[in-house]
Amino acid sequence: MKIIDWVAILGALAWTPHLISLIKAYFTKPEVRIITQKIAEIGFTTYGPIFNMRIAFSVKNRDVVISNFRINVTHESGEEKTYEWQGLRQQVMKMHTNDGPIPYEKENSVLAIKLSQREVEERIIQCQEISFVAGKKDIEDKAIKRLSYDREQEGYDPLKFLKCQEAIDVHNYIKHAFTWKSGKYNVAFQLESPESFNLVDNEYEFTLTPMDIEELEKNKNLIEQDYINSFVASENEAYKQVHWNWRNPSIYKRN
């Protein structure tokens, strides 16, 4: 065997570890495991039906970038709704005082998050029902156009604007978007990524009681007031503090 042949063999062997690592990376997908808090946060506000969860992500094999987070929620009647992330909160530190610990949280973009296998990533994920968001935009655009016109007129009164048909249409749309029902719900958390990965422990369930629905429906009566508060100062006599009702059902992993 000639010297040049030995050089070629040694050169090929030098690339072998790198080639093996590439092959291993190709066939070994990241594995993302979802770990939830024991309770969910269910709500209904001017943002429509809301589903918030404190979730931890455990990653194996290698890091992965998540570009979207959705929650498929199916009622026992068969009605299915999809919630999509609109905001993220992450606890960065906790200060201890005489009155107890005070957590400090930061808001995160929902464009994308990177999950690392070196540590468990825990976040509060705030989700809205996607069909509500899409439908509300069209109606809000008409109200915004009317608002822009009214503001250019002499004697503009924000409270008068909130009584116009365009504003009323927004209020009614929100109220009619109430879809929570008493009964059992199946939950499937869905993640999207530019790369392929395996998702485990992503199916859960929870139950809403008739009392839960009764309390959530009371929020319908606060819709107009919340809009009033967004247009007037807190010193204005029309301003009244709004306290939304929230429900925190226990959530369990499905068998």
Which whole number is the average pLDDT over 142-154? 93
User: What is the pLDDT, as a whole number, of residue 118?
Assistant: 84
| Burial status of residue 151 (CB atoms within 10 A of its CB: 0-12, 13-18, 19 or more) | exposed
Residue ranges per structural domain of the chain = 32-234+244-253
Whole-angstrom CA distances from 9 to 6, 18, 184, 188 are 5, 15, 65, 52
Does the pLDDT at position 104 exceed 50? no
CA distance 11 to 23: 19
pLDDT cut 70: percent of the chain above it: 81
CA distance 223 to 181: 19
CA distance 250 to 41: 9
Average pLDDT, the chain: 87
Does the pLDDT at position 129 exceed 80? yes
User: What is the pLDDT, as a whole number, of residue 192?
Assistant: 92
107 touches 66 (CB < 8 A): no
Look at strands 41-45 and 80-97 and give their pairing. Answer: unpaired
Does the pLDDT at position 6 exceed 60? no
> What confidence tens digit (pLDDT) does each residue in 184-241 have?
999 999 999 998 999 999 999 999 999 999 999 999 999 999 999 999 999 999 999 9
Does the pLDDT at position 57 exceed 50? yes
